[in-house]
Amino acid sequence: MKRNMMVWMALMLSLMMVFSLLGCSSPAEEGEAEPVEEPAAEDGTDALKVALLVNGPISDAGWNASAYDGLMAVEEEFGAETSYLQVKSLSDCEQELRAYADAGYDIIFAHGFEYQDPAEKLHEEYPDTYFIITSGSKAVGNNVSPIIFLEEEGYYVMGMAAAELTQSGKIGLIGGMEIPSLVYPWMGFELGVAETNPDASVTTNWVGSWEDIGKAKEAAMAQIESGFDVVFCSANAASLGGIEACAENGVWTFGAYGEQLHLAPDVMVGELLLEIPVAFTDVTRQIVEGTFEGGVYSPGVAEGAVIFHWNDELIDGNPELEAIRDKGEQIMAEIRSGERQIRSFSLEIE
Amino acid sequence: MEILTSIASFIAADFRTATPLILAGMGLVFSSRAGIVNIGVEGMMLVGALAGVAGSWWFGSAWYGALFAMAMASIISLIFAYLSVTVKADQIVIGAAINILGLGLTTTFARTLFGLNTAPPAIDSFSIIAIPVLSQIPFIGQAFFRQNALVYLAIILVPIASFIMFKTDIGLKVRAVGEHPKACDTVGINVYLVRYITILVSGLFSGLAGAYVSLGLLSFFTENMVAGRGFMALAAVVFGKYSPKGILLAGLVFGAAEAIQFRLQAAGTAIPFQFLLMLPYALTIFALAGFVGKSRAPAANAQPYEKD
């Protein structure tokens, strides 16, 4: 019996080792981070200096790659002197922010909520530096500002489409874990469903993992077998499992945060995308023109930062789907012109 | 009628979820009985999962993929065997190291082979085989006879493994080596050879189980996709009292817990989802805490054999 306990303790230990390894793998695996310095502008003092801090490789074709695109867009549009750095671990965030602030950078784009706390600590020391935190939680002073995308505007359109598509009236959402950045934007989805088809119901289920694709697929299968005919899954890598379940069973689905249409071209009606370069250039423009007043910067559909990309290959030639796309584009146009307001749930996160 | 359909789909999901545990368990039962605690099974399954996808991609068939997965995982298991049997290092430590090695190897090779965040290549995977006639029987057909080939294989393996373990000389030798290696050595049984072979068998089956995760449940590889199923398989071996039939039942109990929790979530039950998510793991703890009776490990469990 005692030996058994040893075995179990060892099991637990090895589990912990595996997970702790995973926890630190993404920033650490790229080895030494190297700042890429651009040559200083010729006239020296006046050039706008913009830096970017990311926590993963900029070759990830997703979150970090889009931030690098954003930095390049800023460089092109404002002739800024730019530099980026891949931070090795979370504990280095503060030190690297400080390094850029010391080097006299005017704007530091810190690409992730993990920079919120270090930026709050530093902002008084560096009053001339703007700390812009993507997905940050709150504005502090007049030089720490989070960028919070109004994803709910895009999710509203997705919810409308789901409500139009469902025959059974049962719409399923599957998330990796119950975190604010899924829960609040998804209120927009539920609003879109409720205002389109009040008889349809939305059920939200959680996988409990961001990488167990098999589990995400079973979660989607459980919904599909219980009669759900529109299922949307957002759980980072694990989403692939949910999307595959929809593709195999001919159930309507959507994509989000990355090009996913090719994963299920026959059942994925559209996908929600965030345009990070738009947000970065917009903030930079405000700062350069002196109109930036601090606070939360929350770009949405109107700024072109949240877009809904329809699967035109699937939709073209199908009158029902074309009608949904037309309606969706109509809603987007109304949001853009200010005729329609979608409640900004993401700004209500405490 | 609707309730029957739900029950049938629940049973089918149960078998789908239990299969990787049963497949890996059929190999683990031999190494465990020979006195080896193979914690490295998680890493071996991961290697199998990637090798399965790579094999299917290169050779164009899921079956070749599964064979390739078994071959690659067995190479890893030989490393484990060399370190734990020949070098006599601590099995738990080596097992943990194998898991980390498996995670690192598969992540690196997956990125090299398939690139970062690019579309997974279209590969042949195990598709669902509806058994003629039987699958047409109402309820039973939907519940039991519409699965992919590896699920049927896992079920067929159970009586075979059970027969080898308890009715043949080979099984007797394996069990004896786990109970009293010294006595075995005295009567001329090569303890090292028996342990090497059982570890190899556990490697082969973890490879197959890994291939089931990547090619049977899904049709692509992503990092750390095995996600603890190797540890669950180890738990199933203990829970199943080191017998193939017990492992089958244990696997089905774990599978049922998972299948029911997603169905309860989908039904919008009032139970908080956190409790539902912990169901399979809570069940494991309750089961091991003595609700299934005492599970007796082989006497020479986790002890390296030292020849005098």
Helix H or strand E encompassing A37? strand A36-37
Q: Which residue type is seen at B82?
A: Y
**How many domains does the structure of chain A reveal?**
2
Number of neighbours of residue B293 by Cβ within 10 angstroms: 7
Query: Contacts of residue B80 in chain A, CB cutoff 8 Å?
Result: none
Predicted confidence at residue B98, as pLDDT, reads 96
Predicted confidence at residue A42, as pLDDT, reads 43
Shared domain for A77 and A140, answered yes or no, is: yes
Shared domain for A90 and A156, answered yes or no, is: no
What does the block give as tokens for A281?
């250039």
Task: Considering only the beta carbons, identify the residue of A13, A213, A262 that sits closest to B225.
Answer: A213
Confidence class of residue A297 from pLDDT cuts 50, 70 and 90? very high
CA atoms within 13 A on the CB side of A212: 20
CB contact under 8 A, A21 and B103: yes
Residues 269-298 of B with CB under 8 A from A: 273, 277, 288, 294-295, 297
B290: nearest CA partner in chain A: A1
Main-chain dihedrals φ then ψ at residue A298, nearest 5 degrees: -125, 85
- Residue contacts between A and B (CB atoms, under 8 Å): 133
pLDDT tens track for A72-115: 999 999 999 999 998 878 889 999 999 999 999 999 999 988 89
User: Which residue out of A22, A64, A204, A221 would a mutagenesis test of the B interface target, given it has the greatest number of B Cβ atoms within 10 Å?
Assistant: A221
Helix H or strand E encompassing B66? helix B62-81
Query: Contacts of residue A245 in chain B, CB cutoff 8 Å?
Result: none
CB contact under 8 A, A18 and B103: yes
Domain annotation covers residue A41: yes
**What is the pTM assigned to this prediction?**
0.83
CA distances, B255 to each of A140, B3, B12, B49, B259 (Å): 49, 20, 10, 19, 6
User: Which residue out of A9, A11, A223, A248 would a mutagenesis test of the B interface target, given it has the greatest number of B Cβ atoms within 10 Å?
Assistant: A11
ipTM score for this prediction:
0.89
A243: nearest CA partner in chain B: B218
CB contact under 8 A, A4 and B219: no
Confidence class of residue A13 from pLDDT cuts 50, 70 and 90? low
User: What's the gap in Å between the CA of A41 and the closest CA on chain B?
Assistant: 34
Shared domain for A317 and A228, answered yes or no, is: yes
Query: Contacts of residue B225 in chain A, CB cutoff 8 Å?
Result: 211-214
Q: Which residue type is seen at B68?
A: F
Domain annotation covers residue A255: yes
**Torsion over CA: A223, A228, A229, A233 (sign):** negative
The answer to whether the CB of A270 falls within 8 A of the CB of A285 is no
Mean pLDDT of the residues in chain A: 86
Q: Which residue type is seen at A235?
A: A
User: Which residue out of B16, B46, B108, B224 would a mutagenesis test of the A interface target, given it has the greatest number of A Cβ atoms within 10 Å?
Assistant: B224
Shared domain for A187 and A321, answered yes or no, is: yes
Shared domain for A262 and A207, answered yes or no, is: yes
Main-chain dihedrals φ then ψ at residue A149, nearest 5 degrees: -70, 135
- Domain range B2-291, CATH class: mainly alpha
Phi-psi region of B301 (alpha: psi -120 to 50; beta: other; left: phi over 0): beta
Beta bridge partners of B75: none
Q: What are A93-101's contacts with CB under 8 Å, separation 24+?
A: A93/A53, A93/A118, A94/A118, A94/A121, A94/A122, A96/A53, A97/A53, A97/A122, A97/A131, A98/A122, A100/A51, A100/A53, A100/A129, A101/A125, A101/A126, A101/A129
The answer to whether the CB of A198 falls within 8 A of the CB of A166 is no
CATH number for the domain that contains residue A92: 3.40.50.2300
Q: pLDDT per position in chain B (308 positions), as tens?
A: 678 888 999 999 999 999 999 999 999 999 999 999 999 999 999 999 999 999 999 999 999 999 999 999 999 999 999 999 999 999 999 999 999 999 999 988 988 888 765 667 788 999 889 988 888 888 888 889 999 999 999 999 999 999 999 999 999 999 999 999 999 999 999 999 999 999 999 999 999 999 999 999 988 888 889 989 999 999 899 889 999 999 999 999 999 999 999 999 998 888 889 998 888 888 777 766 766 667 788 888 888 888 77
Domain annotation covers residue A286: no
CA distances, B217 to each of B164, B209, B287 (Å): 28, 10, 26
Domain annotation covers residue A20: no
* Domain around A82: 36-147
Domain boundary pick from A147, A166, A181: A147
CB contact under 8 A, B222 and A213: yes
What does the block give as tokens for B16?
């789908």
Query: Contacts of residue A263 in chain B, CB cutoff 8 Å?
Result: 119
Token pair 């990092």 is at which residue? B223
Shared domain for A218 and A332, answered yes or no, is: yes
Shared domain for A236 and A337, answered yes or no, is: yes
Shared domain for A104 and A128, answered yes or no, is: yes
**Torsion over CA: B255, B258, B264, B270 (sign):** positive
CB contact under 8 A, B100 and A61: no
pLDDT tens track for A228-258: 999 999 987 788 899 999 999 999 999 998 8
CB contact under 8 A, B16 and A8: no
User: What's the gap in Å between the CA of B170 and the closest CA on chain A?
Assistant: 26
What does the block give as tokens for A103?
């080097």
Shared domain for A51 and A168, answered yes or no, is: no
Query: Contacts of residue A18 in chain B, CB cutoff 8 Å?
Result: 42, 99-100, 103
Token pair 């695996």 is at which residue? A29
Closest CA to B262 of B278, B276, B251: B276
Q: What is the 3-state secondary structure (H, E, C) of A251-271?
A: CEEEEECCCCHHHCCCCEEEE
The Cα angle at residue B96 between residues A15 and B240, in degrees rounded to 5: 70
Q: At what angle do helices B2-33 and B229-239 cross, to 10 degrees?
A: 80
Query: B118 and chain A: CB distance < 8 Å anywhere?
Result: yes
CA distance linking residue A16 with residue B159, whole number of Å: 35
Confidence class of residue A127 from pLDDT cuts 50, 70 and 90? very high
Shared domain for A120 and A159, answered yes or no, is: no
Task: Considering only the beta carbons, identify the residue of A14, A206, A211 that sits closest to B96.
Answer: A14
Domain annotation covers residue A281: no
Domain boundary pick from A91, A124, A147: A147
Task: Considering only the beta carbons, identify the residue of A8, A205, A214 that sits closest to B213.
Answer: A214
Q: Which residue type is seen at A103?
A: A
Query: B268 and chain A: CB distance < 8 Å anywhere?
Result: yes
Shared domain for A59 and A97, answered yes or no, is: yes
B121: nearest CA partner in chain A: A263
Shared domain for A40 and A134, answered yes or no, is: yes
CA distances, A143 to each of A113, A136, A294 (Å): 16, 13, 6
User: What's the gap in Å between the CA of B56 and the closest CA on chain A?
Assistant: 18
Residues 29-68 of B with CB under 8 A from A: 37, 39, 42
CA distance linking residue A198 with residue A190, whole number of Å: 10
Query: Contacts of residue B219 in chain A, CB cutoff 8 Å?
Result: 244
Predicted confidence at residue A147, as pLDDT, reads 94
**Torsion over CA: B86, B102, B282, B287 (sign):** negative
Domain boundary pick from A118, A147, A176: A147
pLDDT tens track for A43-83: 445 689 999 998 877 766 677 888 998 999 999 999 999 99
Query: B112 and chain A: CB distance < 8 Å anywhere?
Result: no
Token pair 């990311």 is at which residue? A54
Main-chain dihedrals φ then ψ at residue A307, nearest 5 degrees: -130, 155
CA distance linking residue A280 with residue A297, whole number of Å: 10
DSSP, res B288: I
